Amino acid sequence: MKRLLSSATMLLAAILTVAAGPRFGTAGPDAPMILYDDALTINGLEQLVKLRAQRYILMYQNNCDPEAQKTGVINPGNIANALLKTEGDQPQGWGVLDFETPFDEMILKGPESPERDRAVATMVAAIERVKRLFPKVRWTYYGIPSLSYYLDGKDWSNAPASEKEGEVRKQIAQYGPVLAACDWLAPCVYVTVGDSKLGGRPNPLQRLATRSWVEARTRMCVEFARNRSEPVPVIPFVSPLYMPGGGARAFSVIASDILTEDVLQPAMKAGASGITIWTSGGYFVQQATSESPDASFVEGGGRKTLVSHWAQDLNKTTASIETAQAAPELREMIANGIVRCAQSAEKIWSDLHPAPPTKAVNTP
């Protein structure tokens, strides 16, 4: 642990530098890794195939091991059973374990906490078990390490360097053993902050802060990955949809310029090997249009937010969104956002990594 703490301090200068980082685990010399959870439409799938995108496996905690939220202990057998039912016994590609509650809270209690040690131990044991059982899948944990957007009331772009250093040191120290067990790293760099005066869309200062935070969080992972004995790719989670939690227009499709300039470019410049696109679009469309949506989603305000924002985006009534007839248009809306996100990522990658010039061939 002391080694992780000292390495975090040494890495901070590189994390805060804007220069582009190295590439890991790329799809090829001319393309980034592009991973997605759901194509949603045939046309969307066609476009993703052209981009050589790959579907990833996402094992949600509540679906495969709900008891873990109560016990704070992950049961790898439950994960394996759930995976066997959905993917068979020889899955391949990229896999994500989404175990957040109560593990993130336990881990952030600090290295001196028995709860933190227990959370780290069970997360490491779980990922090592699924790696043995399903060796053709490259496994990671969703969204780790975290990085606070605000430090003592200041956003990342305005926080003092010493506080940034402390935050990076804390994250590396807390999550280090789990990160070391992963086959790839997938931090979340979603757009969550927005301005109510702009209808929930970010203002210029908020956009600047998001860029700074996205680059810092990505670079933190890239530097950790590069200093492992076996470097691994960093493929952060992005979404073409605004996410809840910071006043943004939750679940609306993000304008292409905002997504490109505030998320994709900073992540790629920080050395990301590509992007992992998450929307859970099929689920959200089902929740918006179903006559019997999940009670927890309704009680938490999710359905109301979905229906309200999508109705405004499509210039429709909320009543028209809450019908099965609206599902195809909603799926198309999200699929188009996914494709634009993937296309932008490929273009940014090409701009950052231009192909070497070809030599002229002399003819007699």
Place of tokens 């202990």: 73
Q: What percent of the chain has pLDDT over 90?
A: 84
Residue-level pLDDT at 18: 34
pLDDT digits (tens, 9 = 90+) for 146-165: 999 999 999 999 999 999 99
- Digit-coded pLDDT (tens) for 51-106: 999 999 999 999 999 999 999 999 999 999 999 999 999 999 999 999 999 999 99
What is the per-residue pLDDT for 17? 40
- Alpha-carbon distance of 263 to 266, in angstroms, equals 6
**Where do the domains of the chain lie, and which CATH numbers do they carry?**
2-280 (3.20.20.70)
Instruction: For 290-332, write each residue's pLDDT tens digit.
Output: 999 999 999 999 999 999 999 999 999 999 999 999 999 999 9
In this prediction, residues 130-143 reach a mean pLDDT of: 97
- Tell me if the bond preceding 145 is cis, omega within 30° of 0: yes
Q: Please state, rounded to an integer, the average pLDDT across all residues of the chain.
A: 90
pTM: 0.90
In this predicted structure, what is the pLDDT of residue 103?
Answer: 97
Assign 3-state DSSP to the chain and report helix, strand, coil percentages, each to 5.
50, 15, 35
Tens digits of residue pLDDT in 5-32: 444 444 444 444 433 333 333 344 568 9
DSSP 28: B
pLDDT classification of 358: cutoffs 50, 70, 90: low
pLDDT on residue 211: 97
How far, in Å, CA of 233 to CA of 22, rounded? 10
Residues 79 and 67: their CA atoms lie apart, in Å, by 12
Q: How would DSSP label each residue in 247-291?
A: BS-TTSBPPHHHHIIIIIHHHHHTT--EEEE---HHHHHHHHH-S
pLDDT of residue 206: 96
Q: What is the pLDDT of residues 166-192, one digit of tens each?
A: 999 999 999 999 999 999 999 999 999
DSSP assigned state of 292: S
- The answer, yes or no, to whether residue 278 has pLDDT greater than 50, is yes
| pLDDT tens figures, 323-357 | 999 999 999 999 999 999 999 999 999 999 887 77
What per-residue confidence (pLDDT) applies to 361? 58
Phi and psi angles of residue 184, each rounded to the nearest 5 degrees, phi first: -160, 160
